[in-house]
């Protein structure tokens, strides 16, 4: 793209130089072609540009604005009324709310649940390294020259495309009380009553199982892209398979690993559907109503619960906090990546 720009600049310079010597009509002709290209370029990108501006950036700005108000669906009737009323306790009320010990609208300890749900979401992130190690191993096995590797790739990818709602319904029964996992393996994760740790692990198993295929396909692509001549050179020099993998394959696979890590952390912070369908909405109870359920709600589930409760300003503020957390996590990863490049 930069090259294009340079050539564009050169073109412009050439045209300007030509202006001095050539007659006027030719200059106008060139300009018209350039102008047409500009106009059509903007026409082609206009839909995407407008869509991004309106549905992402303006929505984000509105979200920030709403988070400063005390917009409540049960008290205010119109959107404009909500927008107009800045929170009486100050701009930052909803950003300080999680540090206050109070509950709101009759739900005791609501501000406390901010930390509970955030902690739960972070716990669900454990699935990412587990899934990456597993899928790296499987991808390495698939790229050995074996038969049927294409078939295996398709099989491993099936859970990724499957509907999360259906999968979650199945999971509840598979891991449920007296279910398949209990009868065959004696693993009882969901019916554990008081303790919520096994229930969380159930969600982690689900996300790992579902996400494995996509990561495997990416790693297989990355491994296929590794330059084979390095391998041959190292083999001739007498390096064994283990050191070839760590010294030659891994450094070249690093960009793929980094991409997978960044995207899965962004996605993992937004986990919602699986726990929501297994444990029910916040703060109401679903079909798995146990005392531990409250601690299995992810952060997005909390936002959704607050939103359902009509506290739209509060929910907006939580959304903005989530955006900031995700932004910083991504930033930290990129910073670590930059430091690695320097070393």
Partner 1 sequence: MTEQVLLSMEDEVLENVQSEGAAEETAAETKERGKFGNAMRKAGNALKKFFKRIPSYLRTALRVFCGWFGFGVFGGPSNKKRKKIFFDVIGYVILIVGGVTMLYPFWWMFAASLAGPTYNANGEIATNALTNMITTIFWPANTSRFGLFYNYEQAITLLNSAWQTVTIGGQAYAFWRSVINTLLYSLIPVTVGVFTSASAAFAFAKLDFKGKNFVFFYCLAAIMVPFPSIMIAQFCVYSSIGWTDNGLAMIVPGCFGAIMTAFFIRQYLYGMPTAILEAAKIDGAGYWRQFVSFVIPLAKPAIMAQFILSFMGSWNNYLAPQVFITEDMWKPLTLAIGQLDTSYGTDVTNAPSVMAASVLALLPILILFAIFQKTIIGSIMLTGSKE
- Looking only at residues 156 through 175 of this chain, which bind partner 1 when binding is defined by CB under 8 A? 156-170, 172-174
Q: 92-102: string of b/e by CB count within 10 Å (b at 16+)? A: ebbbebbeeee
Q: Residue 183 CB, nearest distance to partner 1 (Å)? A: 6
Among 20, 21, 24, 78, binds partner 1 (CB under 8 A): 78
Q: Per rule CB under 8 A, is residue 223 in the interface with partner 1?
A: no
Q: Find the part of the chain contacting partner 1 (CB under 8 A) among 86-94, 97-105, 112-120, 319-327.
A: 319-327
| Residue 107 φ/ψ, nearest 5 degrees | -95, 110
3 conformational bin, left if phi > 0, alpha if psi -120 to 50, beta if neither: alpha
Quick one: 101 or 144, whose CB is closer to partner 1? Answer: 144
Q: Per rule CB under 8 A, is residue 189 in the interface with partner 1?
A: no
Q: Per rule CB under 8 A, is residue 138 in the interface with partner 1?
A: yes
Q: Find the part of the chain contacting partner 1 (CB under 8 A) among 15-23, 89-97, 119-127, 263-271.
A: 263-271
Nearest alpha-carbon partner for 262 in 320, 205, 336, 165: 336
- The residue with tokens 């692990």 is 201
Quick one: 16 or 108, whose CB is closer to partner 1? Answer: 16
Residues in the interface with partner 1 (CB under 8 A) total 112
Q: Per rule CB under 8 A, is residue 136 in the interface with partner 1?
A: no
Q: Per rule CB under 8 A, is residue 218 in the interface with partner 1?
A: yes
Q: Per rule CB under 8 A, is residue 287 in the interface with partner 1?
A: yes
Residues 79-98 that bind partner 1 (CB under 8 A): 79-80, 82
Q: Per rule CB under 8 A, is residue 232 in the interface with partner 1?
A: no
Q: Residue 319 CB, nearest distance to partner 1 (Å)? A: 3
Residues 291-310 that bind partner 1 (CB under 8 A): 300, 303-304, 307
Return the structure tokens found at 69. Answer: 């108000």
CB 170 within 8 Å of CB 202: no
Is the sign of the CA dihedral 287, 292, 296, 300 positive or negative? positive
Return the structure tokens found at 176. Answer: 């449920």
CA dist 137 and 273 (Å) reads 28
x-or-dash string of contact with partner 1, 8-37, rule CB under 8 A: x---------------------------xx
CB 340 within 8 Å of CB 101: no
Quick one: 111 or 330, whose CB is closer to partner 1? Answer: 330
DSSP 9: H
Respond yes or no on whether the N-terminal peptide bond of residue 138 is cis (omega within 30° of 0): no
Quick one: 102 or 235, whose CB is closer to partner 1? Answer: 235
Q: How many CA atoms lie within 13 A of 71 on its CB side?
A: 24
């Amino acid at each position: 793209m930069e090259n294009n720009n340079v050539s564009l600049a050169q073109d412009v310079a050439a045209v300007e130089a030509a202006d001095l010597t050539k007659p006027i009509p030719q200059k106008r002709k060139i300009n018209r072609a350039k102008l047409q290209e500009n106009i059509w370029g903007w026409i082609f990108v206009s839909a995407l540009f407008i869509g991004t501006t309106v549905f992402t950036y303006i929505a984000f700005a509105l979200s920030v604005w709403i988070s400063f108000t005390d917009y409540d669906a049960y008290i205010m009737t119109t959107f404009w009324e909500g927008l107009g009323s800045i929170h009486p306790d100050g701009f930052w009320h909803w950003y300080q709310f999680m540090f206050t010990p109070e509950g709101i609208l009759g739900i005791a300890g609501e501000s406390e649940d901010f930390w509970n749900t955030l902690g739960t979401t972070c716990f669900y992130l454990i699935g990412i390294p587990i899934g990456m190690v597993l899928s790296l191993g499987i991808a390495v096995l698939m790229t050995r020259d074996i038969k049927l590797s294409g078939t295996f790739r398709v099989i491993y990818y099936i859970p990724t495309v499957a509907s999360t709602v259906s999968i979650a319904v199945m999971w509840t029964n598979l891991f449920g009380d007296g279910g398949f996992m209990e009868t065959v393996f004696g693993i009882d994760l969901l019916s554990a009553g008081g303790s919520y740790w096994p229930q969380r692990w159930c969600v982690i198993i689900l996300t790992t199982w579902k996400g494995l295929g996509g990561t495997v396909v990416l790693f297989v692509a990355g491994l296929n892209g590794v330059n084979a001549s390095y391998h041959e050179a190292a083999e001739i020099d007498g390096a064994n398979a283990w050191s070839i993998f760590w010294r030659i394959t891994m450094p070249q696979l690093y960009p793929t690993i980094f991409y997978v890590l960044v995207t899965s952390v962004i996605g993992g912070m937004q986990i919602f559907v699986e726990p929501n369908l297994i444990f029910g909405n916040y703060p109401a109870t679903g079909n798995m109503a146990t005392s531990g359920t409250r601690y299995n709600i992810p952060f997005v589930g909390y936002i959704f619960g607050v939103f359902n409760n009509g506290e739209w300003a509060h929910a907006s503020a939580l959304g903005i906090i989530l955006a900031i957390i995700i932004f910083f996590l991504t930033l930290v990863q990129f910073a670590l990546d930059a430091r690695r490049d320097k070393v």
